[in-house]
Amino acid sequence: MTKIGIIGAGAMGTGIAQVAATAGHEVYLYDANADALQRAITTLRNTLDMLAQKGKMTESAADTIFRRFHFVEKKLDSLRDCGLIIEAIIENLDVKKGLFDQLQEVIAPDCMLATNTSSLSVTSIASACREPQRVLGIHFFNPAPLMKLVEIIPAIQTNGKIVEQAQAIIQSWNKTTVIAKDTPGFIVNRVARPFYGEALRIYEEGIADIATIDWAMKEVGGFKMGPFELMDFIGHDVNYTVTETIFQAFFYDPRYKPSFSQKRLVEAGYLGKKSGRGFYDYNENVIKPRPNEDAVLCETIFERIGVMLINEAADAVFWKVATKEDIDLAMTLGVNYPKGLLKWADEWGIDTIVKTLDDLYHVYHEDRYRCSPLLRKMAKVKETFY
C-alpha cells in the first residue's frame, strides 16, 4: 500500500489521516506544532476507541489502525517514502507555496503532491514546484471520515496519469470523487454561495428574518439546515473568508459579493456555535426566535434562493467547471442538498427559472441577477439537462 503523508494536524488533516489509515495505509501525520500533534494523537485514539465501543469495528482492528500512524513533528524528510502527500494547513497561498517548495527538496521523485485547499488556485500552488505536473487538488469535506465526496482538481500543469492515480487511491478509500476545473471554489464552494448570499440579501432587505428564512428552506425546500443555521455551524470566520476569497478571485463579480451583516459578526467575534453566538444565540435559557410560517412568503424565499442556486450550477456547466452529473453529485454528497440542482431545474422548468431571474434583474438592475447564457439558450430551444 502507498505510504500517505498528511501535513497539518488540525481537524481536517486528522480526519484525512483517519480515512487513509482505515483503508490500510501507513500514514505519516506531520505538524510543526507539538501541541496540535498531541491533540491529533488523542483525537485519533479516542475516535477509534469510540468506534470500537459502538461496534463499528473490533478493538483489535482499532489498535491495528492506530499502529499505522506515525506522528512527525520536526523533519519533513520523514515523509520521503510517501507516494502521496496531502497538505491540510492554513488557507494562505504564500504559506502553501512555501511548503511545497520545501517538500520538493525532500520527497521521492514519484511522490504525488496534493493540496486540500477549498478555494485557492491549485495552479498557483503547483507553480512553486520544479515538477508542477505531479501537483493536484484533493479537496475533502469536513468531517472527512463521514463525508463521501472528494473533489479532484487538476492544475493546468497536472499530468493526466497523476489525476487517474490519485482518483483511484481516493476511491479505494470508499469515497466518491468528482473532477473540477481549477476555478475559484471548484464545484461545491462556488455553487453553494447563493445559499448563503441570497439568504443574507433577503434578510438585509427586511423581507424576512433569519428564523423565517431558515424555516422556509427546511420546511418548503427540504434542506437539512437553513442557511443561517449552517453559517453558524460552519463558523463565520470560515464561511465569510471563503466568500471573500471567491469574490476577489472572480474579479469582484457582484454575484459573490460578501455581506456586511456577516462581516460585522466576524468583527464582533460572534462566530457561531463555537463562540456561543452568531446569527442565533446559543447560550442557555435564550429563546430561539419563532419563524413566520406564512406559506406565500416562505415559498417566495425558497424560490428566490433556489433559482440563484440553479443559475450558479448552470453557469458552472456553461464554463466547463464540471459535468452536469458531477455538479449534481457534488451538491447532494458534499453539502447534503435534497436534490441535484440541475434535476431541480428540469422539474421547475427552464422557462420559469429564466423568467424569475429576469424579474429579479428588472427590479434590482444588478449583475448579480444575470441569467446564465446556458439557461437562456436552453429555454429558447425547450431543452432540459436530463
Would you please indicate which residues are annotated as catalytic (active-site) residues?
Answer: 118, 139, 151, 189
C-alpha cell at 154: 487538476
C-alpha cell at 347: 422539474
Over its C-alpha atoms, the chain yields an Rg (Å, rounded) of 22
* Separation of alpha carbons 305 and 93, rounded Å: 31
Do 152 and 180 form a contact (C-beta atoms < 8 A)? yes
C-alpha cell at 321: 467547471
Number of residues written out for the chain: 386
C-alpha cell at 90: 492554513
Q: From the CB of residue 106, how many other CB atoms can be counted at a distance below 10 Å?
A: 13
Going 65 to 70 to 76 to 80, the CA torsion angle's sign is: negative
Extract long-range pairs of 344-348: CB within 8 Å, 24+ residues apart.
344/306, 344/310, 345/310, 345/313, 345/314, 345/375, 345/384, 345/385, 346/384, 346/385, 346/386, 348/306, 348/307, 348/310
